[in-house]
């Protein structure tokens, strides 16, 4: 299976390098697929200890937001937050001269580094990463992303869902730069449920998320969706793209759209064409279509397959009739 139409040369070092570059690994020597999805270890919940928080606390009120997040999370979802806070390191602001408000969290050193003009939203973004990150023998689990020396997968979905949680937990305005990842993450949350998706994020359980998506899309569609969001995250925001990168991004948008529309349609069908679910379907697909138009992708580019063609043109009419029938 060639997820994104990438030519594969069996045994080619170039092919392997390309696979690693876009966040996947070469498996069974014939296909581009997700690498083996790992599982983090379950760890013991420790008391919340904020004694090590220094430096940024006076300016950013870091302790306030840590306490807020700790109170919002249920017992099993605050394990990594409390573990990482115990020895969290904070970058020296005077060292950095970033020209943008971005920051970074390094799981290997358990350290936050922020630009001098970074705002509270960026700090809380990194705090949400801290709360979902653990390491197992060189395998880093961080929300829905997993990385080793050889591969990195799930970063796009992870980035989008952090934007969702940053607004939900801390009332921050989302970063429009990552709107595509956030939109698809919200659509995925509709399929697996808000509570489940939040639990899987803070537990670092990408494998559980994949299992919950299986009733709504084929394994190949789940792969295509996750890998496509990685490509959009890696190349989609670059002002200057090579022709090859433009091709990758376009195919990624198409693959992500088809997989998501199939999943949402099955969600509607399983609900018995509930009017509220149909309304959700149209809202999500309309926002996705607007996103595609902004990126120069038309309905003709999608080459919609048989599953999506099964979508009833008169979904709203079906909903209206069922609602009337219920009222009678």
* Predicted pLDDT at 319: 56
* Predicted pLDDT at 59: 53
In terms of Cβ atoms closer than 10 Å to its own Cβ (0-12, 13-18, 19+), residue 247 is middle
Among the listed residues 162, 152, 102, the one whose alpha carbon sits nearest the alpha carbon of residue 130 = 162
* Predicted pLDDT at 288: 93
* Predicted pLDDT at 100: 45
Q: Tell me the pTM.
A: 0.81
Query: What does the alpha-carbon distance between residue 143 and residue 133 come to, in Å, rounded to a whole number?
Result: 6
* Predicted pLDDT at 302: 74
* Predicted pLDDT at 50: 72
Angle in degrees, 0-180, between the axes of helices 155-170 and 194-203, rounded to the nearest 10: 110
Domain spans of the chain, in order of start: 1-33, 36-213, 245-328
CA angle 223, 196, 257 (to 5 degrees): 35
Residues 6+ apart with CB under 8 A from 293: none
Query: What does the alpha-carbon distance between residue 252 and residue 128 come to, in Å, rounded to a whole number?
Result: 26
On whether the CB atoms of residues 88 and 112 are closer than 8 A, the answer is yes
Residues 6+ apart with CB under 8 A from 246: none
* Predicted pLDDT at 257: 93
Query: What does the alpha-carbon distance between residue 185 and residue 165 come to, in Å, rounded to a whole number?
Result: 11
Q: To which residue do tokens 């991004």 refer?
A: 249
* Predicted pLDDT at 71: 93
* Predicted pLDDT at 214: 92
Query: What does the alpha-carbon distance between residue 181 and residue 185 come to, in Å, rounded to a whole number?
Result: 6
* Predicted pLDDT at 193: 96
pLDDT, one tens digit for every residue, the chain (328 residues): 333 333 323 333 343 333 334 444 333 322 334 555 666 766 767 777 777 665 555 555 778 888 999 999 988 899 999 999 888 887 754 444 444 456 788 888 888 877 665 677 888 898 999 999 998 888 899 999 998 877 789 999 999 999 999 999 999 888 888 999 999 999 999 999 999 999 999 999 999 999 999 999 988 899 999 999 999 999 999 888 899 999 999 999 999 999 999 899 999 989 988 889 988 998 998 999 899 999 898 877 776 554 445 455 456 555 555 553 333 3
Query: What does the alpha-carbon distance between residue 231 and residue 4 come to, in Å, rounded to a whole number?
Result: 10
Query: What does the alpha-carbon distance between residue 182 and residue 187 come to, in Å, rounded to a whole number?
Result: 9
Q: To which residue do tokens 């083996």 refer?
A: 36
On whether the CB atoms of residues 97 and 55 are closer than 8 A, the answer is no
């Amino acid at each position: 299976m060639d997820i994104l139409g990438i030519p594969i040369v069996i045994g080619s070092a170039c092919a392997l390098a390309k696979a690693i570059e876009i966040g996947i690994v070469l498996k069974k020597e014939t296909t581009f697929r997700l690498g083996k999805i790992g599982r983090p270890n379950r760890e013991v919940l420790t008391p919340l200890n904020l004694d090590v928080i220094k430096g940024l606390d006076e300016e950013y009120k870091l302790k306030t937001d840590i306490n807020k997040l700790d109170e919002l999370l249920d017992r099993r979802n605050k394990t990594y937050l409390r573990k990482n806070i115990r020895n969290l390191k904070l970058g020296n602001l005077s060292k950095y001269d970033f020209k943008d408000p971005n920051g970074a969290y390094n799981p290997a050193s358990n350290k936050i580094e922020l630009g001098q003009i970074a705002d509270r939203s960026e700090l809380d973004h990194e705090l949400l990463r801290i709360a979902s990150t653990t390491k197992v023998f060189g395998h880093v689990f961080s929300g829905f992303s997993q990385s080793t020396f050889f591969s990195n997968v799930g970063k796009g979905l992870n980035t989008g869902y952090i934007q969702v949680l940053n607004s939900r937990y801390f009332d921050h305005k989302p970063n429009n730069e990552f709107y595509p990842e956030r939109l698809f993450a919200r659509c995925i949350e509709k399929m697996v449920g808000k509570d489940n998706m939040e639990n899987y994020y803070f537990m670092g359980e990408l494998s559980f998320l994949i299992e919950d998506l299986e009733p709504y899309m084929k394994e190949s569609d789940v792969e295509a969706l996750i890998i496509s969001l990685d490509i959009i995250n890696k190349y989609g925001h670059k002002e200057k793209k090579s022709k090859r990168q433009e091709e990758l991004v376009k195919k990624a948008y198409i693959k992500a759209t088809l997989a998501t529309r199939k999943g949402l349609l099955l969600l509607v069908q399983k609900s018995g064409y509930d009017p509220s679910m149909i309304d959700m379907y149209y809202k999500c697909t309309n926002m996705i279509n607007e996103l595609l138009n902004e990126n120069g992708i038309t309905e003709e580019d999608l080459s919609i397959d048989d599953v999506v063609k099964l979508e009833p043109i008169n979904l709203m009419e079906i909903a209206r009739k069922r609602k009337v029938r219920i009222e009678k």
